[in-house]
Structure 1
Amino acid sequence: MPDLPSQEHADQQQIRLILAALQDGVILIEPDQRISWANKAALRMHGVHEVAELGATVSEYRGRFELRYRNRHRLPEGAYPMERVMAGEAFDEVVVEVAPAGENETLWTHRIRSLVLNDPAGVPNCLVLILNDETERFDAEERFEAAFSANPAPAVILRLSDHRHIKVNRGFLEMTGYAEEQVVGRSAYEIDVLEGAARREFAVERLQQGRTIPQMEALLQLPGGGEKRVVVAGQPIEVGGTDCMLFTFVDIEPHKRAEEALRRSENSFDVAFRLSPAPTFLALRAGCRLLQANTAFVRESGYPEAELVGKWTGELGLWADPAAGRELERRLEVDGAVRDFALQLRTRAGDLLDVLLSAEAVSMGEGSCVLVVAQNVAEHRRTEMEIASAIEAVLRDTSWFSRMVLEKLAKLRRPDALDGTMTAELADLPPRGRDVLALVCRGMADPSIAHKLGISRNTVRNHITALYRRTGVRTRAALVVWARERGFTGGPPPKVPGPTKD
């Protein structure tokens, strides 16, 4: 008849059944160093399926698995948790990294505590290691550490139990000028990130409660004196099982400086806009709704500014020719710019003004806009017509009106024509430009000039456009007048008198 199992053996069987169902890993070690049993959780934490794969004894376990501290240093002989419990040492918590022997990469992180089971006589008869798998938590903390350190957004972490800063990232150090040792370990009273906060009492109350602190402006005191205005916010987090508060910051001084620069720029624009002698208005690029009108435009159009602002040009009937107005607005919306667009503008009294409109796209608070300048050309055209008529009358018969006479008339009209700035202006003209100007002054058309100089008509037009730009005139007649006033004869420019010696 076989022996019945002892009561002690039955008790161990019951204990093992209970331990097998635990989520924590459990390893039972006999006083003679034999590893007698492990539940599935403990086997899974070592990447094995059978107890034998852990090793038959503590020594074999040491040979199969390499344990390191969190600083990556390998545990020395006698420091393995199994060895410590065999030596009679009790411990509540030891955190180690575990990897199969010979592998450098850590596969698991265990938090281990010990338990000693004694027999009725008080002699240890079973040693127990209880393991918690902390791999995911510590991996997450490592990822958080890496992200926290690399994040350019300034941040510090405050431990809630004693209100001391335990971490600071480079972004905060660069923003404030602190060194890491000046922040880590210091209390919230030494480095008060909520100083000058718009709602400081509320923020301090939330901090003491460990609750989220919403964004608010605050003043950070800098290590070298002075202060920096920031937006600060606090978020409760857990770091290494400790309740903390993560403070993040936004440096708003660059934004404030940009706002101030924008304000000054807008003020300067407003002054220049108002004082400009040319009639000018600001309008939305799409649809041409007026946003602002300067004094000159109010005067020329006859509309009070209050009747212009907020109105569409169609509402005002500003364009005498609606089709031309639509074409102008289409070009403004598509291109954002026009140059010398000829148009008639209808005033409030119903009069028509001949204008040349030029516009350029600008960005304002309203969005995409255009700045439109209207040049009244009626008087200018009358003057040009009078000059052109006079020149045409003279050039009808040049047999008696010699070039010399024209030059003398110009000299009489402008006695300084051959001196100083006048002569210098002629000297600035390029040789080919002077050739084209001479032929223009003789009344030759573009085809004749091109044939005479052996160049293309397009090149002639380019030279004449360049002469307009240099002289500031807009027509050939005005160009002739400009040249005659300076005594231009078609030859090389006179020499500019130099300083005389005493």
Structure 2
Amino acid sequence: MTVAPPLKSLRDSADLRHLRQIIAGLDEGVILVDPDQDILWANTAALGMHGVDSVEDLGATVDDYRQRFQLRYRNNHKLNDADYPIERVVSGEAFSEVVVEVAVAGEDEPRWVHQVRSLVLTNDDDEPECLVMIIQDVSAQFEAEDRFEQSFNANPAPAVICRLCDLRFVKVNQGFIDMTGHDRDAVLSRTVYDIDVLERGEKRDLGKQRLAEGRTIPQMEAELSLPDGETKLVIVAGQPIDMGDQPCMLFTFADLEPRRKAETQLRHSEERFMRTFSLAPVALA
């Protein structure tokens, strides 16, 4: 089992010893940094989140840390030196919920996804005495979200997802784009009532109430307006889901337009047959 090393003697005040004892067993990773950019100490969780056994393996200084670990945002953009959370901590910046992917230097693929926040401990004169980087390993969460997104995008069934806090669409799959003809970017900039997925729904009022409450919306027939001015008959249903920490609603659709066209063609065919039958000069057996 990895054992976290003690703080440097220069920082071994009673307060910091007590702090070390408190944070040693936390599930969150904690790295203490001196204002002069020396890495003072890290708890066991922080070491494990970097795949190392000792604080020395993190690097003696902030510069060493940057040399040993390559960070990038979730959009694959590499962080500049000044954007590293540990650099921002040293600068005294207060931040929370910064999400970065972490790779060991020399490796192309990241091993972990960290969510990081900062804390500045001050002395009696309100001067920075110790800087704290607090880390959560959210790798499993983002791996699950990546699997969901891949499944969502690959699913041929039309679907959209809206946030419940503002009812804006946050995801749309290719099935919905193909069914409606809407532009993907146009959908993602609008709300559930701008592109009304419950339009002309047989249980529209119930659907609106359930949406406001974040509850399951039972399936119903609805008639969606299309960009070309036409409409499309669908079955729509809504299922509440969470994406990260955001409550959302997943809307799924079944295209009933082929059935409606077939029924219309059948009705027209029957009408033509009845006209032909009624106009026939000789009775038809």
**Counterpart position of 2:40:** 36
| 1:245 alignment partner, one of 223, 246, 249 | 249
- Which letter maps to 1:113? R
Q: 2:207 and 2:126 mapped to 1: Cα distance?
A: 56
Q: CA deviation at 1:262?
A: 7.4
Are residues 1:120 and 2:128 paired? no
Q: CA deviation at 1:11?
A: 2.4
| 1:235 alignment partner, one of 239, 243, 247 | 239
Are residues 1:58 and 2:67 paired? no
TM-score by length of 1: 0.50
**Counterpart position of 1:77:** 81
Are residues 1:209 and 2:216 paired? no
Q: 2:186 and 2:228 mapped to 1: Cα distance?
A: 12
| 1:196 alignment partner, one of 181, 200, 207 | 200
3-state DSSP class of the match of 1:192?
coil
Q: 2:18 and 2:164 mapped to 1: Cα distance?
A: 44
Are residues 1:161 and 2:165 paired? yes
After superposition, the CA RMSD in angstroms is 2.4
* 1:386-417 deviation digits (Å, cap 9, x = unpaired): xxxxxxxxxxxxxxxxxxxxxxxxxxxxxxxx
> Whose Rg is larger?
1
Q: 2:227 and 2:220 mapped to 1: Cα distance?
A: 22
- When you count helix as a share of all residues, which structure comes out higher? 1
Q: CA deviation at 1:241?
A: 2.1
3-state DSSP class of the match of 1:237?
strand
Q: 1:188 and 1:115 mapped to 2: Cα distance?
A: 39
Q: CA deviation at 1:36?
A: 1.3
The verdict on how the C-alpha distance between 1:264 and 1:48 changes in structure 2, with shifts beyond 3 A counting, is: same
| 1:178 alignment partner, one of 164, 179, 182 | 182
Q: Is the 8 A contact 2:233 2:260 kept in 1?
A: no
Q: CA deviation at 1:85?
A: 1.5
Q: CA deviation at 1:93?
A: 2.5
**Counterpart position of 2:276:** none
Identity of aligned residues (%): 57
| 1:138 alignment partner, one of 139, 142, 159 | 142
* 1:417-437 deviation digits (Å, cap 9, x = unpaired): xxxxxxxxxxxxxxxxxxxxx
**Counterpart position of 1:48:** 52
Q: 2:230 and 2:10 mapped to 1: Cα distance?
A: 80
* 1:17-38 deviation digits (Å, cap 9, x = unpaired): 1101211110011122111111
The verdict on how the C-alpha distance between 1:166 and 1:6 changes in structure 2, with shifts beyond 3 A counting, is: closer
| 2:94 alignment partner, one of 74, 90, 93 | 90
Q: 2:123 and 2:64 mapped to 1: Cα distance?
A: 27
The alignment covers a number of residue pairs equal to: 265
- Which letter maps to 1:253? E
- Which letter maps to 2:99? V
**Counterpart position of 1:18:** 22
Q: 2:39 and 2:266 mapped to 1: Cα distance?
A: 76
Q: 2:110 and 2:214 mapped to 1: Cα distance?
A: 34
The verdict on how the C-alpha distance between 1:7 and 1:184 changes in structure 2, with shifts beyond 3 A counting, is: closer
Q: 2:252 and 2:261 mapped to 1: Cα distance?
A: 21
Q: CA deviation at 1:121?
A: 2.1
Are residues 1:99 and 2:103 paired? yes
3-state DSSP class of the match of 2:51?
coil
Q: Is the 8 A contact 2:92 2:131 kept in 1?
A: no
- Which letter maps to 2:117? R
Q: CA deviation at 1:260?
A: 6.3
Q: 2:267 and 2:51 mapped to 1: Cα distance?
A: 66
TM-score by length of 2: 0.86
Q: 1:266 and 1:122 mapped to 2: Cα distance?
A: 88
3-state DSSP class of the match of 1:246?
strand
- Which letter maps to 1:174? D
The verdict on how the C-alpha distance between 1:7 and 1:101 changes in structure 2, with shifts beyond 3 A counting, is: closer
3-state DSSP class of the match of 1:78?
helix
